[in-house]
A = this chain, B = another copy of it.
Amino acid sequence: MLEITSEGPGLYEFTAQVTGWCADQDIADGLLTLYIAHTSASLTIQENADPDVLHDIEVFFRQLVSRDPGLYRHGAEGPDDMPAHIRSLLTSTSLSIPVTGGRPVLGTWQGIYLYEHRDQPHRRCIHLHLSGE
């Protein structure tokens, strides 16, 4: 399991932790599955060349999923909580990536990200599962 720390809404790259974990396993070829055990954060593979991409993604989601408390019944955990659940549903909780030669198949400019949707700092638990030969 990996623990990734977040400090507010946005994308946090942890590709190096994933490739490091894979390199430590005895399985060279197989399938890696990442799973985030939370309902207000998600997983995604995105371009890691230009940080503006990450900025634009967060701006888009901020507009798509309003934080206006008047729109929601569920508000006890703060105005960012219900939007976080919706953003989680619109993105991904699990992600599977083939592994060859001990490395996940990622393009040159691809990175693996935690997408945090809550305002407060969090430690997010990401489970990794590798099956193969």
| A residues adjacent to B (C-beta < 8 A) | 30-31, 33, 35, 37-39, 44-47, 50, 52-53, 55-57, 59-60, 64-65, 71-74, 76, 82, 85-86, 88-98, 105-107, 109-110, 115, 127, 129, 131-132
Contacts and interface: CB of A to CB of B under 8 A. Distances in A.
A50 B37 contact: no
A93 to B, nearest CB: 5
Given A52-B74, A76-B50, A57 B35 contact: no
Q: Majority SS of interface residues in chain A? A: mixed
Contact of A45 (B39, B52, B59): B39
B46 A131 contact: no
5 contacts: A31-B33, A33-B96, A38-B110, A57-B85, A94-B97
Nearest to A82: B56
Given A30-B131, A37-B110, A93-B95, 9 more contacts: A35-B96, A38-B107, A53-B85, A55-B74, A56-B71, A57-B89, A60-B71, A89-B115, A98-B129
Question: Which 7 interchain pairs have the tightest Cβ spacing?
Answer: A52-B74, A52-B73, A94-B96, A56-B72, A98-B127, A31-B129, A98-B129
Contacts of A105: 35, 37, 127
A106 B56 contact: no
